[in-house]
Structure 1
Amino acid sequence: MASGVEPATFLTGFDRMLEEVAATGRRLSRDELESRRELGEQAAEAGLGLRRMVSAHLAAAREAWPASSNGWPSGRSSADCALAAVQQAVDSFAEGYERAQRQAVRQEEAARREFIDDLLLGRSDLGRLAERAERFGLRLARAHAVAVAEGPDTYEEGDAVPRRVARAVTARFDSRRILVTTKEGRLLCVAPGDEEDVLNWFAKQAYAATDGGRVAVGRSHAGPGGVVQSYEEALSTLEMAERLGFDGPVLKAADLLVYPVLARDRQALADLVVSALGPLRGARGGAQPLLETLTAYFDSGCVAAEAARRLSLSVRALTYRLERIRKLTGADAADPAQRYMLQTAAIGARLLNWPAQEL
């Protein structure tokens, strides 16, 4: 025992109470029961196990029990009263012990939540943050990457889904320095940047637990601020996937770097979209059907048959649409020299929610 405190320290007055109860037949008073609860709290705070303390109570009761008729008054009622007092005392002691444990758990949860918020928002002194991270199993001096999963519901730490995912991850990688938690209704996993298998396993478990949710993985970054960078990349990737309609269950920020680059200069991107695709507004039915045609055509590798299948059109109908786009915009999607401009504009339109939103 690290504290060096003996169980007898928390049995103060126990033998005297038993003697009085056996002699008078009275029940333990409210103050006596509360004193047992307080001793239970103190024992928990001192690090003594509950099982050990219950055993100590029973041993003390046995020792106090009279060895001859010269001790406590004889008779069944006296023994019943003594045993009832032991039961009351142990029950109150255990109540206090559990109360202290619940308080310790709440304090630990609050400290963990505060650390996670500071870690992901980057609002704490980095040196102090690195020191606190050790307590939760992270070494922020090394590089880390963050995976974020979102599903149809919002999740809080302690809910069934986060618990299931955390158990699956820690059971497989129990010796690694990993943090599985929640933030703003999403699941997330912080892992060393060179252990991609951890984040892949988290993504697989989160996808299954959220009934087909989407997972984004940020790039690996070094230092205490690296976790924030990776987390923000993962969030941006989820947002971008929603705008662009990506179907993949797992998206990696490293594979989608072109999209943040395009979105960085919003005004330039808006000018490109309006200039290249603005004439599509003049089509019957507006620009949206033709924009969807361009998106399907580019996403299918410019294979007309595949694009037609995705749009539930005949190849002839798709070809007609592409020709209509060429006439309206003056750019041919099948021409390598003009394809890049149209494709970039089509991506920009999705990023900027055009034509639903005016630019």
Structure 2
Amino acid sequence: MMDPTGRSAASPAGSLVERLRSVHLKMVDAVLGGDGLQQVAALAAEAAGAPVAIVVPRLDAAVASSGAGAGADAAPVRESTLEEIRRYVSDRVRDRPSQVPEALAAEAPIQSGDDVVGAVVLLREPGGADPSPEAGDFLHLAAVACLTEVAVEEAKEEVEQNLRGSFLEDLRSRPDLEPREVVRRAARLGCDLSRGAVVLCAELTTDRPRHVIATITGDEPGALAEHLDGRVYAILPGTGGDDAPDTTTARGRALATRLRRHGTVGVSSFYSDPAELPRAIQEAELVLDVLKQGEGGGWDGVQDIGTGTYRLLFRVLASHPEEVRSFYEDTVAPIVRYDDQYRTDLVGTLEAYLEQNCNMNATASAIYAHRHTVAYRLERVKELTGLDPMLSEDRERLGLGLKAYRIIAPRLPK
């Protein structure tokens, strides 16, 4: 076709193809250039002539353009509208029934294979012009660009996950790591260990470890968390000045309390020296093992795990396990073995006696036994251990021995 001047005139179809190609290239450039989904939404809105929202639950992303086009007077999309679109798309991704929002004019799924991971949504703008007939084509272009963004972000996450996993695995298995190396590698992952840290170790009852990790990093932005060997490990860096040990420990325990709806959580004490982080991990694992043992065996002392004496024993066990084992052998090990062999309850009776402030009648009531039975069992404790529960100094050794037993029990031969 020739125009009046004798030059070829581009067909409408050819013009649309060129425009689609141009917009597509701009969208891909925006993604690869790091401008992200916000710029893709703006380009789609400008091309389609109406506001555009993009929701990708996998990336926890929900963004919207301003009004139609990129004009300075374009009204922004209301937060309530974007939240409604977010809920709608999230339900669609999870294959749940959802009511179509009134503001939705058209949508294009962001699809990876057979999986829908999000959507690009064209919004009705009150009082605005009708969207162009080609608006659907631009939505699909935006969906393709968004899929590229998903791939880029997931590739970054995979690299970071591998780095986190490698770092935590090295901390667990290589106690010879140089402190400067530990601090440097953690800093590359956004975790500042220069003021020390507290470690959490969780064994989950949920099949959503990524959700638990997201909870940890959401509550503690500087934390380092990863799923390894069926457990979630988290390092909470110290913050503050001289109060860093207390404040970081308090944060760790508060976070553990929030996570307990997802499983059992062990928390280490505060370690100021980055070189001791392997011990902090061992301590958190030990606390977790003891908590699990207590939950399964009905031990009433589980709530005391965070107290000073237990915490000291955990630290000693993480660094010098032979000392705790030796103390156990020198105190209550004989009555533990006696109970195992003869199905008696000398350990339980001794614990009750100490908990009842050495009151024989209260002990008998607590264990549903006769007072003479309690006296007989305490005499057997004295014979087997060489320590007299009636004497103050011996009671202290027996009490500490019971605590040592509780924290090493999960690792004793069955």
- Can you list the C-alpha shifts for 1:158-211, whole angstroms capped at 9, x where unaligned? x2x4444544x25xxx6xx44455544336351216164354245334424433
State the Cα RMSD in Å: 4.5
Aligned: 1:217 with 2:268: yes
The offset of 1:94, in angstroms, is 0.8
Q: Secondary structure at the match of 1:87?
A: helix
Q: With structure 2 as the length reference, what TM-score do the two structures score?
A: 0.56
- Matched-pair contact (CA < 8 Å) for 2:238–2:245: yes
The offset of 1:293, in angstroms, is 1.4
The offset of 1:237, in angstroms, is 2.6
Give the total of aligned pairs. Answer: 304
Name 1:190's counterpart in structure 2: 236
Aligned: 1:45 with 2:32: yes
Equivalents in 2 of 1:38, 1:266: separation in Å? 66
Name 1:264's counterpart in structure 2: 322
Name 1:110's counterpart in structure 2: 158
Equivalents in 1 of 2:245, 2:407: separation in Å? 32
Alignment of 1:1-359 (within 5 A): 20-22=11-13, 40-48=27-35, 49-58=39-48, 83-88=132-137, 90-122=138-170, 130-131=183-184, 133-153=186-206, 155-157=208-210, 159=211, 161-164=212-215, 166-167=217-218, 169-170=219-220, 177-179=222-224, 182-183=227-228, 184-186=230-232, 188-192=234-238, 194=244, 196-211=246-261, 213-223=264-274, 225-243=275-293, 245=299, 246-248=301-303, 251=306, 255-258=310-313, 260-261=316-317, 263-265=321-323, 268=326, 272=330, 276-277=334-335, 280=338, 286=342, 288-304=344-360, 307-308=363-364, 310-313=366-369, 315-326=371-382, 331-340=387-396, 342-343=398-399, 346-347=402-403, 349-350=405-406, 353=409, 357=413
- Matched-pair contact (CA < 8 Å) for 1:150–1:187: no
Equivalents in 2 of 1:148, 1:334: separation in Å? 39
Equivalents in 1 of 2:284, 2:14: separation in Å? 71
Q: Secondary structure at the match of 1:186?
A: strand
Q: Secondary structure at the match of 1:142?
A: coil
- Matched-pair contact (CA < 8 Å) for 2:331–2:387: no
The offset of 1:115, in angstroms, is 2.9
Q: Secondary structure at the match of 1:47?
A: coil
- Can you list the C-alpha shifts for 1:213-271, whole angstroms capped at 9, x where unaligned? 44423322333x44443223222232244457441286378852235458425874575
The one-letter code sitting in structure 1 at the alignment partner of 2:389 is A
Gaps of 5+ in 2: 1-8, 50-68, 70-130, 172-176
Gaps of 5+ in 1: 1-17, 63-81
Judged with a 3 Å threshold, the aligned counterparts in structure 2 of structure 1 residues 349 and 142 are, in CA distance, closer, same or farther, namely closer
Equivalents in 2 of 1:286, 1:302: separation in Å? 25
The one-letter code sitting in structure 1 at the alignment partner of 2:153 is V
The offset of 1:155, in angstroms, is 4.8
Q: Larger relative contact order (C-alpha < 8 A, sep ≥ 6)?
A: 1
Rg larger for = 1
Q: Secondary structure at the match of 1:257?
A: helix
Identity of aligned residues (%): 15
Query: Larger % of helix: which?
Result: 1
The one-letter code sitting in structure 1 at the alignment partner of 2:306 is L
Q: Secondary structure at the match of 1:117?
A: helix
Judged with a 3 Å threshold, the aligned counterparts in structure 2 of structure 1 residues 228 and 279 are, in CA distance, closer, same or farther, namely closer
Equivalents in 2 of 1:253, 1:23: separation in Å? 78
- Can you list the C-alpha shifts for 1:18-77, whole angstroms capped at 9, x where unaligned? 9534479xx969xx9799656533321113311332244358xx9xxxxxxxxxxxxxxx
The one-letter code sitting in structure 2 at the alignment partner of 1:235 is E
The offset of 1:98, in angstroms, is 0.8
The one-letter code sitting in structure 2 at the alignment partner of 1:95 is A
- Matched-pair contact (CA < 8 Å) for 1:216–1:250: no
Judged with a 3 Å threshold, the aligned counterparts in structure 2 of structure 1 residues 267 and 236 are, in CA distance, closer, same or farther, namely closer
The offset of 1:294, in angstroms, is 1.9
Judged with a 3 Å threshold, the aligned counterparts in structure 2 of structure 1 residues 293 and 109 are, in CA distance, closer, same or farther, namely same
The offset of 1:332, in angstroms, is 2.4
- Can you list the C-alpha shifts for 1:68-127, whole angstroms capped at 9, x where unaligned? xxxxxxxxxxxxxx9444531x12321232122112221232233223223323368876
Q: Secondary structure at the match of 2:390?
A: coil
Q: Secondary structure at the match of 1:220?
A: coil
Name 1:4's counterpart in structure 2: none
Judged with a 3 Å threshold, the aligned counterparts in structure 2 of structure 1 residues 178 and 330 are, in CA distance, closer, same or farther, namely closer
Q: Secondary structure at the match of 1:251?
A: coil
